[in-house]
Structure 1
Amino acid sequence: MGVNVAIANSHQIFRRGLAKWIESAKDINVVLECSDGKELLQQINEDLQVNVLLLDIQMSGIDGLSCCETLQKKRPDISIIILSHLSGSYFLKYAVQLKLHGYFTKDSESRDLLKAIRQYDDGEFYYEKKLKTKVEKIADYIRKNPDEDISRFDFSKRELEIIYLTAIELKSKEIASKLNISPRTVEGHKNNLIKKTNCKSFLGVILLAMELRLISMYGDFELFNL
């Protein structure tokens, strides 16, 4: 019968190419292709025979990480492999903590990904060689901090504005003037964000927001109407 694979990726050309490549392996079948998280959750029901899901993190509507959480409750029998251009420590940590089946970037070696697909039910965590050091450090951290909350961060628009404006080197007084709030309120937001994200400093908050692609250093003035 072979291994049944579902693919969720918003880039049609990449998704179709991936499906054709996977199906060139005679023992693997692509049974579902989805362009976003909403479609994925609608299509995967109890009757659909799926062994492995190749899932992108960044998708419109419902993102990949939210899909992981839902599917682990709805279809715990499906082995989920993240396949994304993102490889930041935050996403790897999330994948390890959720006990996903693997994490690969889009330039991974094909044989490594195929091995992970074929060994979908062995309980191992598969990843490409260049992620080895990161994964080992993350696994060690999780062993030492087993009770740490793995919930993702929900930043408000105001919090993102303050993160972004600090990232482009505006001081608290300048941020306060731009946002029509007091400097004390700005500092309060910063302190709350440090606690909320468990970072050691506000620089850590900025780096986390960039890693999550919540802000970039280009074009965000239009995003926030600043």
Structure 2
Amino acid sequence: MTIRVVLADDETMIRAGVKAILGTEPSIEVVAEGANGHEAVELVRSHRPDVVLLDIRMPGLDGLAAAAEIRKVRPETAVVMLTTFGEDAYVARALSSGANGFLLKASDPRELIAAVRAVADGAAYLSPTVARQVINQLSGTAYARGEEARALLGQLTDREREVLALVGQGLSNAEIARRLHLVEGTVKSYVSTILTRLDAKNRVQAAILAYEAGLVDRDA
């Protein structure tokens, strides 16, 4: 199955480079591109892509605002923030806007392809460069630490906690299904229930709770 992608960045050279990298993968197709957040929202609305890549800093409607709007317009489309800015504040705001992934433009091209594949498959993706800072930054702000996180996870069944631990490791629904010998549709149902019970917007936020509750080894 071809993964359909919409790309939005106000720098023409960046768009050309990203499109060229994704073009090396036969299973990925950039179906449309824009130069600002408003265009990104409209392109997602009209093309209904699997994934949208958004630069954070764009004129008019920026990537953060566009991500939030896209989550309303088409929640099925996975959002990956692609930016040169790796500060904690940008990462935290991107994830709170409903982004499924965060990737620095300076990352290895293979990371870009891996990110698109991961979020299209229902997983979250954080560049290894920023993954640890996300957990450290959000652990004491958007989410409760230690005991409070464990209390939240107390709402989950043993199986749901098992699924959440694997979400925290970055596994997709298909990978979790194989690991637990379940049907992929069953895993999807588990993940949906987990997000609802934890009041998490997406898998990244749920994964952070998993780290805080100790379900996932921080040093793994």
TM-score, length basis structure 1: 0.59
User: Are the equivalent residues in 2 in contact too, given 1:83–1:105 (CA < 8 A)?
Assistant: yes
5+ residue gaps, structure 1, are: 147-226
Residues 1-226 of structure 1 aligned to structure 2 (within 5 Å): 1-45=1-45, 47-141=46-140, 142-144=142-144
- Size of the aligned set, in residue pairs, is 145
User: Are the equivalent residues in 2 in contact too, given 1:8–1:40 (CA < 8 A)?
Assistant: yes
SS of the residue corresponding to residue 143 of structure 1 reads coil
SS of the residue corresponding to residue 120 of structure 1 reads helix
CA 1:123–1:27 in structure 2 vs 1: closer, same or farther (change >3 Å)?
closer
The residue type equivalent to 1:44 in the other structure is V
CA RMSD of aligned residues (A): 1.9
2-structure distance, mates of 1:27, 1:143: 36
**Segments of 4+ moved more than 4 angstroms:** none
CA 1:103–1:51 in structure 2 vs 1: closer, same or farther (change >3 Å)?
same
- Which fold has the larger relative contact order, with Cα–Cα distance below 8 Å and residues 6 or more apart in sequence? 2
2-structure distance, mates of 1:99, 1:136: 16
CA 1:128–1:35 in structure 2 vs 1: closer, same or farther (change >3 Å)?
same
Work out which of the two has the higher radius of gyration on C-alpha atoms and give 1 or 2: 1
The residue type equivalent to 1:125 in the other structure is A
1-structure distance, mates of 2:44, 2:127: 27
CA 1:121–1:41 in structure 2 vs 1: closer, same or farther (change >3 Å)?
closer
The residue type equivalent to 1:66 in the other structure is A
Give the Å deviation of 1:123.
4.3
User: Are the equivalent residues in 2 in contact too, given 1:96–1:139 (CA < 8 A)?
Assistant: no
1-structure distance, mates of 2:73, 2:43: 12
SS of the residue corresponding to residue 119 of structure 2 reads coil
User: Are the equivalent residues in 2 in contact too, given 1:109–1:128 (CA < 8 A)?
Assistant: no
CA 1:98–1:123 in structure 2 vs 1: closer, same or farther (change >3 Å)?
farther
Question: 2:154 matched to which residue of 1?
Answer: none
TM-score, length basis structure 2: 0.61
Give the Å deviation of 1:96.
2.6
